[in-house]
Amino acid sequence: MPQPPTTITDELGIALSNLADSATGILTPTLRLGVTGLSRAGKTIFITALVHNLLTQGRLPGFAPLADGRFIGAKLAEYPDATIPRFAYEQHLAALTANPPVWPESTRRISQLRIVLKFQSAKWWAGLTGPATLNLDIVDYPGEWLLDLPLLGLSFAEWSAEALARARQPGHAKEAAEFLKALDSMDVSKDASDSEAERMASTFTTYLRRSREHGALSTLPPGRFLLPGDLEGSPALTFAPLPRPGVPVRHGMLYAMLEGRFEAYKTQVVRPFFRDHFARLDRQVVLVDTLRALNAGSEAVNDLETALTAVLACFRQGEANPLLRPFVRNIDRILFAATKADHVHHTSHDRLGAILNRLVASASKRARFAGTTTRSIAMAGIRATSEGTIRENGETLPTLIGTPLKGEVLDGTSYDGKTEIALFPGDLPERPDSLFEDGQPVSLNFLRFTPPQKLDRNAAGDVVLPHIRLDRALDYLIGDWMA
């Protein structure tokens, strides 16, 4: 899938925005880090944990500037773009440290946060220049919006053909039944009406929502149908795929109305997101709920692979020419992170990372050819479980210890959100390819847990948020800028 097409106007706007960023960062360089995720992958948790650990100099042994004693400190700063909502770090941290703690609300719109990092460079001339600073701008956006970018290269007829072909696949029969029934009962060549457009958009949105619940990610575009933000109810979000009519398309026809709204969606919603935010990123994190797909079976795994390949194709990849950097920004590092590693035993962490690496293998190869470095790891921004062992039938089994969320059910037992349990989660396969060869779902005892009930505090009195490999992720994403 090609990179989203841009117009001369788009490129001019991107260049001017990058030039403005460069002008304000003459003395202090700025690194723009995009954070996105697919299907409730934990973006809010990741960003909150990352910011908190930097502000409190948390337990990050794999983060070289801190491990080497060169990291001086960090502070939050006002974000230069006053038109973009601020990431609600303080509110999210308060939810995680409340009594009892709760998971904060997930990402529903774009938000940004600036954190200023002060450090001592390891370069030989650092002793002459003193401490250095880096503005880390974190851009948080829903993964559903990212999957919209390929729409920029499609006409309404092309998108409709692809969307309807997916909806009619056997694996989508249940989710798409209501939408396809409504489609079969209508005449796309009749006169346009808002009520008919709203009816089709409603049934199509229901289909998309059900698909997301069952792990089907490649069916999601248009992503704003699921996370509309301040566009909810607008005509730009009131359309659906239609088969091309057997007669010439004329003005005033229902097909023409929905085609116009599709083009408006691309022009007024998707293109500004690409131009104003997405095309100005330097580094990117894609958080993936791999375990959920594994539990759902081969169809969900294959669909996840398709979605991740589409995600990679959208990025502006490659290392930018330093002479052109004031005008052009490319993503030169991408981190794919399989989240919720605390839901499996540590003996399966490397296997989880290897499975994700297999899912993005072909797309990563193309990214490396373009000059972009990619990496896949298993991690948890905040660890909700600890580990132990149990004896069962004379065998010692590794377990997870944690408190399942209220309403979680396993083997007929419904949990109350207060009771701590020990659970054998199951094992991931040693060979990632086996998931694609036999197509059998992985047998995991998969539960969602509450945030950690008791948190340690450091010498300064700040809470310590336990994590898995967040330090490695942080070092890969920004460590070279702080060398």
Whether the per-residue pLDDT at 308 is higher than 70: the answer is yes
Mean local confidence (pLDDT), 447-472: 95
pLDDT at 441 (0 to 100): 60
Whether the per-residue pLDDT at 291 is higher than 60: the answer is yes
| 99 compared with 275, residue with greater pLDDT | 99
Token pair, residue 442, equals 């992985």
pLDDT at 327 (0 to 100): 47
Q: How far apart are alpha carbons 400 and 445 in whole angstroms?
A: 10
Q: What is the DSSP letter of 403?
A: -
Alpha helices (runs of H) in 73-214, residue ranges in sequence order: 89-96, 126-129, 143-146, 156-167, 173-184, 194-213
Whether the per-residue pLDDT at 479 is higher than 80: the answer is yes
Token pair, residue 470, equals 């967040």
Whether the per-residue pLDDT at 1 is higher than 50: the answer is no
Mean local confidence (pLDDT), 7-36: 68
Task: Note the Cα 15 to chain centre separation in Å.
Answer: 26
Q: How far apart are alpha carbons 85 and 142 in whole angstroms?
A: 14
pLDDT at 253 (0 to 100): 95
Q: How far apart are alpha carbons 424 and 343 in whole angstroms?
A: 10
pLDDT at 351 (0 to 100): 94
Mean local confidence (pLDDT), 281-295: 89
Chain segment 323-346, per-residue pLDDT in tens: 545 545 788 999 999 999 999 999
pLDDT at 83 (0 to 100): 85
Residues with Cβ within 8 Å of 237's Cβ and at least 6 positions away in sequence, in order, are 201, 222, 224, 225, 228, 231, 265, 269
Chain segment 172-202, per-residue pLDDT in tens: 888 999 999 999 988 999 999 999 999 999 9
* Location of structure tokens 């930018």: 320
Whether the per-residue pLDDT at 467 is higher than 70: the answer is yes
Structural contact between residues 440 and 422, judged by C-beta atoms closer than 8 angstroms: no
What average pLDDT does the chain have? Answer: 86
Q: How many CB atoms lie within 10 A of CB 250?
A: 11
**Nearest-CA neighbor of 216 among 168, 149, 171?**
171
How do strand 395-402 and strand 421-423 relate by DSSP bridges? Answer: antiparallel
Chain segment 411-454, per-residue pLDDT in tens: 889 999 999 999 988 888 888 887 776 656 667 788 899 999 99
Name all domains of the chain by residue range, CATH numbers in brackets.
8-141+277-383+468-482 (3.40.50.300), 152-268 (no CATH)
pLDDT band for 278, please (50, 70, 90 cuts).
confident
Chain segment 108-166, per-residue pLDDT in tens: 788 999 999 999 998 877 667 789 999 999 999 888 788 788 888 899 999 999 999 98
| 75 compared with 293, residue with greater pLDDT | 75
Task: Note the Cα 406 to chain centre separation in Å.
Answer: 25
Structural contact between residues 35 and 138, judged by C-beta atoms closer than 8 angstroms: yes
Structural contact between residues 33 and 478, judged by C-beta atoms closer than 8 angstroms: yes
Token pair, residue 72, equals 């001086």
